[in-house]
Amino acid sequence: MTDECDGKHKRILILVEEEDGQIASITFELLRAGRELADKIGGILCTAVLGHEVVDIANESTDFSDECYCLNQILLADFQVDLYVHALEKLCKNINPDIILMGQTLDNLDLAPRLACKMGTELITDCIGFDIDQGTGRLLCTKPIYGDNAIAIFIIEKKPYMAMLRSKVMGAIGRSSKKGKVFNFDPALDGSLAKTELIKKVTGERVSLDKADAIVAGGRGLKIEGDKQEGDKQEGLKQLEELVGVLKNFFGKVEVAGSRPLVDAGWLPPSRQIGLTGEKANPQLYIAVGISGASQHLSGILGSKKIVAINKDERAPIFKSADYGVVGRYEDVIPALIKKLKELP
């Protein structure tokens, strides 16, 4: 298809993510990881843009990449995994990338393993860093394991090397001096390939914890207190929301969030879950209320500038990972904190 597609060039393919009609931030992190690898192997940095009416996104992606493959198809308007797998498989067989990188997103957890299976290769998910093994030229993928209690570096032996990048572990790429080229690619999709049928989309609130300047998060401690006094269950949550309100005097974007137990109990939507299986955030200020501090939770907040822990259990592990600690019942501490914050000039 393209002049460059002659097998001489090594390609690194980045799957572009879109959010609210724009390129999502994880994409810029992927592009940075991809550019570093491209420089190491003397390869070309490419993007794949899948969707409907995505021409602008495809164009914008070439501010950061050498080539963009644009799969602008009505059948790709919604994420239907079978169609996405098929489209990407077609593209990959055509351009033969050496490396494929995707963001660690819920949709990609569906897509990437199946694409890897079809391509006869392996996939390493949830990576925090990449390198090239000097001896073999193979891709090394650094990945936290055992709930972030250890780190493994995997070596992928089969091409294309495929990996998923955790968000917020890498900085964003800057614009290239040279704009890349856009190539349209038609994967010849057939709607009957879809094995699942979308009945209804239930859109959640537009929350982006990864863009918050300050976060107030609650954990099991709130739930236990809430369970004791049924009926008044979400009193703790109200306090957190009030604290969020006051913090808005000091920070631009302030959000309420929770650890997994609180989300599983239905107190907050999954989009507000911080941690290994939730969002990754790096706010200026993170206030953890009634959160014990399991490593699975900490993995979502490692980049936070300052961490405050409020917990009545002085032995809670969260204090080891906090910059400021308050040992006490949050019901007593938070109202006083709110009152004083309101008084601050």
Sequence-ordered list of residues with C-beta below 8 angstroms from that of 173, at least 6 positions apart, any chain: 28, 29, 31, 32, 35, 64
Q: Whole-number minimum distance, CB 10 to other proteins, in Å?
A: 21
- Smaller CB separation from other proteins, 136 or 184: 136
- Distance from C-alpha of 32 to C-alpha of 47, rounded to nearest angstrom: 12
- Smaller CB separation from other proteins, 54 or 287: 287
Q: Which of 91, 155, 85, 76 is nearest to 113 (CA)?
A: 85
- Token readout for 321 is 């990972």
Q: Whole-number minimum distance, CB 186 to other proteins, in Å?
A: 24
- Distance from C-alpha of 48 to C-alpha of 84, rounded to nearest angstrom: 11
Residue 175: HSE in the Cβ half-sphere, 13 Å Cα cutoff: 6
- Smaller CB separation from other proteins, 176 or 321: 321
- Token readout for 328 is 């006490």
Q: Whole-number minimum distance, CB 176 to other proteins, in Å?
A: 28
Q: Whole-number minimum distance, CB 147 to other proteins, in Å?
A: 5
- Smaller CB separation from other proteins, 70 or 263: 263
Q: Whole-number minimum distance, CB 247 to other proteins, in Å?
A: 8
- Distance from C-alpha of 149 to C-alpha of 168, rounded to nearest angstrom: 18
- Smaller CB separation from other proteins, 94 or 271: 271
- Token readout for 337 is 């904190």
